[in-house]
Amino acid sequence: MLNPFKPEKAVIREIIHETADTTTYTFSFSEANLQKGFRYHPGQFNMLTIFGIGEAPISISSNNNMDSGVFQHTVRRVGNVTNALAKMKVGDSVGIRGPYGTGWPLNVLEVKNLLLVAGGIGLAPLRPVIQEVMYRRQDFGQVELLYGARTPGELLYTREFEQWRQAGIIVRLTVDAVPEGVTWDGSVGVVTKLFDEMSSEPFDTLVFTCGPEIMMSFVVRGLVNRGFVPEQIYVSLERRMNCGVKKCGKCQIGPKFVCRDGPVFAYAELLTLPEEVLGGVAG
Ligand SMILES: Cc1cc2nc3c(=O)[nH]c(=O)nc-3n(C[C@H](O)[C@H](O)[C@H](O)COP(=O)(O)OP(=O)(O)OC[C@H]3O[C@@H](n4cnc5c(N)ncnc54)[C@H](O)[C@@H]3O)c2cc1C
Ligand code: FES
């Protein structure tokens, strides 16, 4: 962990345009020793600073095991920080503090199968899970990804899907709509539509889901109706953040702080909170 309050300079090494508004940036810390010691778990995030503009929490979309010489963030342009980042070029610098948060529970040893359910930019914090599966494939059983986006052009990481499939990961795709003139042979409809064709079953399976909160509330409801229990479903929550280290209270939900206790929570844990999160559908 870096000094929790001091952004360290990191340089943009590569820029990959994923969609019209979303880009994957490859970074490395300016200081070689910092980069060497930078270790993180799938599902953790960094606070990314654009000097003179501001700071935003962004999930780490790469996996430490794949290449510890760099790390990646996949960012959608929505406001001040992300629009300023979108104007930057290879060689420009940002500030990074982190890694923060809990990450996905990949070390629950007795569970073998994974069901990943993602919507839109929500695939970014799940990509390191997929990479972890590819890195130590023998530790996992059936791994299935259900991924939905608004249109085919808004799907992230399409160049990697074939590689994921070759690693034995079941990849099922759906889009809300197919614009005229676009060829699409996947499903059309919201991501929960894929539940009808999925291979995953509740036994011996952990579910990780990330996407818009309304999507995740339908996902947990659909899975609970199919026999999954809240203890086996993990969600990654988004809240506005300032400090990222449980000091300012900005991200607080009852007794929990999304920055430190999350962003990944067991759905069962959310059901114990005084405030309703994801509709409390299994309560
Ligand atoms: C743990 C975590 C991980 C994340 N990972 C990613 C990721 O991998 N990739 C990614 O692209 N994003 C990610 N986000 C979301 C990202 O942090 C936000 O979109 C962030 O607001 C972007 O900062 P910005 O300055 O560009 O936008 P902002 O200027 O903060 O604006 C973002 C949007 O929020 C609205 N807004 C502004 N102020 C408020 C307010 N006070 N209350 C409510 N809404 C407001 C704006 O109108 C705009 O639509 C993550 C968030 C969290 C908490
Ligand atoms: S962001 Fe400050 S307490 Fe979580």
**180, pLDDT greater than 70:** yes
Shared domain for 144 and 83, answered yes or no, is no
Report the distance separating Cα 45 and Cα 53, nearest Å. Answer: 19
The residues with which 97 forms a beta bridge, in sequence order, are 47
Last residue of a domain, one of 43, 75, 100: 100
The verdict on residue 85 lying in a domain is: yes
Report the distance separating Cα 255 and Cα 275, nearest Å. Answer: 10
Q: What is the mean pLDDT of residues 249-276?
A: 93
Nearest of 209, 206, 207 to residue 236 by alpha carbon? 209
The verdict on residue 2 lying in a domain is: no
CA atoms within 13 Å, Cβ hemisphere of 56: 19
Instruction: List the residue whose alpha carbon is closest to atom 37 of ligand 1.
Output: 79
Q: What is the mean pLDDT of residues 189-195?
A: 96
Shared domain for 211 and 156, answered yes or no, is yes
The 10s digit of each residue's pLDDT in 97-131 is 999 999 999 977 667 899 999 999 999 999 999 99
Shared domain for 71 and 179, answered yes or no, is no
Strand 187-188 to strand 8-17: parallel, antiparallel, or no bridges (unpaired)? Answer: unpaired
Last residue of a domain, one of 78, 100, 122: 100
Residue 173 near residue 148, CB atoms below 8 Å = yes
Banded pLDDT at 280 (limits 50, 70, 90): low
Shared domain for 152 and 239, answered yes or no, is yes
Closest ligand by atom to 260 CA: 2
Report the distance separating Cα 44 and Cα 167, nearest Å. Answer: 24
- Identify the domain containing residue 59 by its residue range: 8-100
The verdict on residue 108 lying in a domain is: no
For ligand 2, pick from 46, 58, 102, 248 the residue to mutate: most ligand atoms within 8 Å of CB.
248
Q: What is the pLDDT of residue 252?
A: 94
Cα separation of the two ends of the chain: 37
Shared domain for 191 and 269, answered yes or no, is yes
Banded pLDDT at 281 (limits 50, 70, 90): very low
Shared domain for 259 and 238, answered yes or no, is yes
Closest ligand by atom to 262 CA: 1
Report how far ligand 1's centroid is from the alpha carbon of 82 (Å).
Answer: 8
The verdict on residue 66 lying in a domain is: yes
Report the distance separating Cα 122 and Cα 158, nearest Å. Answer: 14
- CATH of residue 47's domain is 2.40.30.10
CA dihedral 193→231→66→211, nearest 10 degrees, is: 40
The verdict on residue 105 lying in a domain is: no
The 10s digit of each residue's pLDDT in 218-231 is 999 999 999 999 99
Residue 52 near residue 100, CB atoms below 8 Å = no
Total domain count, the chain: 2
Shared domain for 143 and 65, answered yes or no, is no
Give the CA distances from residue 14 to residues 23, 71, 163, 253, in Å, rounded to whole numbers and listed in that order. 10, 10, 21, 36
220 lines ligand 1 (CB under 6 A): no
Could you give the percent of the chain with pLDDT greater than 70?
A: 97
Report how far ligand 1's centroid is from the alpha carbon of 138 (Å).
Answer: 37
The verdict on residue 3 lying in a domain is: no
Q: What is the pLDDT of residue 213?
A: 94
Banded pLDDT at 45 (limits 50, 70, 90): very high
Atom from ligand 2 closest to the CA of residue 258: 4
The 10s digit of each residue's pLDDT in 131-149 is 999 999 999 999 999 999 9
Q: What is the pLDDT of residue 282?
A: 44
Q: For residue 269, which phi and psi values (nearest 5 degrees)? A: -70, -40
Banded pLDDT at 2 (limits 50, 70, 90): low
Atom from ligand 1 closest to the CA of residue 236: 1
- CATH of residue 183's domain is 3.40.50.80
243 lines ligand 2 (CB under 6 A): yes
For the ranges 63-67, 70-74, 92-96, the lowest mean pLDDT is seen at: 63-67
Could you give the percent of the chain with pLDDT greater than 90?
A: 90
Shared domain for 201 and 243, answered yes or no, is yes
Q: What is the pLDDT of residue 197?
A: 95
Shared domain for 125 and 152, answered yes or no, is yes
Under the phi-then-psi rule, with left for phi > 0, alpha for psi from -120 to 50, and beta for the rest, what region is 91? left
Q: What burial class does residue 179 get, using C-beta atoms within 10 Å of its C-beta: 0-12 exposed, 13-18 middle, 19+ buried? A: exposed
The 10s digit of each residue's pLDDT in 30-44 is 999 999 999 999 999
The verdict on residue 106 lying in a domain is: no
Report how far ligand 2's centroid is from the alpha carbon of 110 (Å).
Answer: 33
Shared domain for 174 and 77, answered yes or no, is no
Strand 45-50 to strand 54-59: parallel, antiparallel, or no bridges (unpaired)? Answer: antiparallel
Instruction: List the residue whose alpha carbon is closest to atom 21 of ligand 1.
Output: 56
The 10s digit of each residue's pLDDT in 250-262 is 999 999 999 999 9
Banded pLDDT at 205 (limits 50, 70, 90): very high
Shared domain for 237 and 199, answered yes or no, is yes
Mean pLDDT of the chain: 94
Residue type, 121: I
Shared domain for 269 and 135, answered yes or no, is yes
Report the distance separating Cα 148 and Cα 7, nearest Å. Answer: 34
